[in-house]
Amino acid sequence: MKAQTLTMFCAASSLLVAGAGAAAAQVGRQGSVGAVAPTPPSAAPPPPPAAAATVAMATATTAVAGAGAVPALYTQACQACHVAGVAGAPKFGDKAAWAPRVGQGIDVLTSHVITGKGAMPPKGGSAASDAEIRAVVVYMVDAVK
């Protein structure tokens, strides 16, 4: 036990001495103790990976939907039913089938997708964010305008 305590004490002392040496070197460069310039703060830490990914994905999905390209979420979750009209799903691009739905507005359609409606499970069975769902709804509605 004494040997372990002594080893830990020596390691801690080494760190203190190394830190003191660095401070002394800083003082030597500055000329005096009072002239030590504070270390500039580093850049702000990046946002947590999950938050950054969510923001990036929502931004990318919205940009893609606005550009008319097919959002990845549509191909992953929506097209399985909306291409063939499975279980009464309105077919992609079918103006007559979408007309009564489009009249409800984007917010109502988005809430139907988020909560599920008829045979469609919540979020079409995906783990997408509400923003991603909204972007795909906008994409699908834009196809019938």
Cα-atom radius of gyration of the chain, to the nearest Å? Answer: 30
Burial 1-32 (b: 16+ CB within 10 A, else e): eeeeeeeeeeeeeeeeeeeeeeeeeeeeeeee
Residue-wise pLDDT for 61-86, tens only, equals: 444 444 556 899 999 999 999 999 99
pLDDT at 88: 94
Tokens of 54: 């969510």
Domain spans of the chain, in order of start: 2-30, 49-58+66-142
pTM assigned to the model: 0.54
Topology at the third CATH level for domain 49-58+66-142: Cytochrome Bc1 Complex; Chain D, domain 2 (1.10.760)
Give the model's confidence band at 47: pLDDT under 50 very low, under 70 low, under 90 confident, else very high.
low
Burial class (CB in 10 A: 0-12, 13-18, 19+), 139: buried
Round to whole Å and give the CA distance between 54 and 104: 28
